[in-house]
Structure 1
Amino acid sequence: MTVYVDNVRHRYGRMVMCHMWADSIDELMAMVDRIGVQRKWLQVPPQASWMHFDISLAKKAEAIKAGAVLTDRYGPLEHVARLKGDQAMLDRIAAARAKR
């Protein structure tokens, strides 16, 4: 089981945000409790593509210090593709990464 953060940078007002998600809800909630993110900010389908939190770059740094794994911008897509068992999408992600 793993918690992930990506390297995207989305502006939200004056903050810069990224995504944090995990292999399990328990692990995700343990991490948000550890780094001080309120559970009420959990984003879930259908309002979001997958279960995750948008976190500030400061919280991202705390999450990484606490053991979260840094991924690239394809990390969330890869996670959703794995959940759905979408091998075609996983192949497209691998091809896109190879071009970089």
Structure 2
Amino acid sequence: MTVYVDNMRASFGRMKMCHMIADTTEELLAMADRIGVQRKWLQKAGRHDEHFDIALSKRKLAVEAGAVEVSMMDLGRILRARRPDRSEA
């Protein structure tokens, strides 16, 4: 099980933000708790692309806590691989 943070640097006011995802919801929420990100900021909960947008200061804490640094392209590949197979619908 792994938590991932990408290298995005999107502006949000005076902050720079990136994405944080994990292999499981439980692991994602545990990391959010550990680095001080409120659970209410979870985006797309329960979907294959659930994530947090986190400030770079929180990204640093996540990496120190064991999160894996990936590129935005790599994060996109991870999320696409999780996408439900639409042919089964």
Q: TM-score, normalised by structure 2?
A: 0.87
Query: Which consecutive unaligned segments of at least 5 residues does structure 1 have?
Result: 87-100
CA shift, 1:75, in A, is: 2.4
Moved over 3 A (4+): none
Matched, 1:34 2:34: yes
Structure-to-structure mapping, 1:17-56, within 5 angstroms? 17-44=17-44, 50-56=49-55
Say which structure is richer in helix: 1
Shift of 1:79: 1.4
Matches within 5 A, 1:18-97: 18-44=18-44, 50-84=49-83
The percent of aligned pairs where both chains have the same amino acid is 52
**CA separation in 1, counterparts of 2:30 and 2:12?**
24
Supply the AA of the counterpart residue of 1:6.
Answer: D
How much has 1:80 moved relative to structure 2? Answer: 1.6
| In structure 1, distance between residues paired with 2:4 and 2:60 | 12
Task: Tell me the CA shift for residue 76 of structure 1.
Answer: 2.4
Q: How far apart are 1:41 and its partner, in Å? A: 0.2
Tell me which structure has the larger Cα radius of gyration: 1
1:90 alignment partner in structure 2:
none
1:92 alignment counterpart: none
RMSD: 1.9
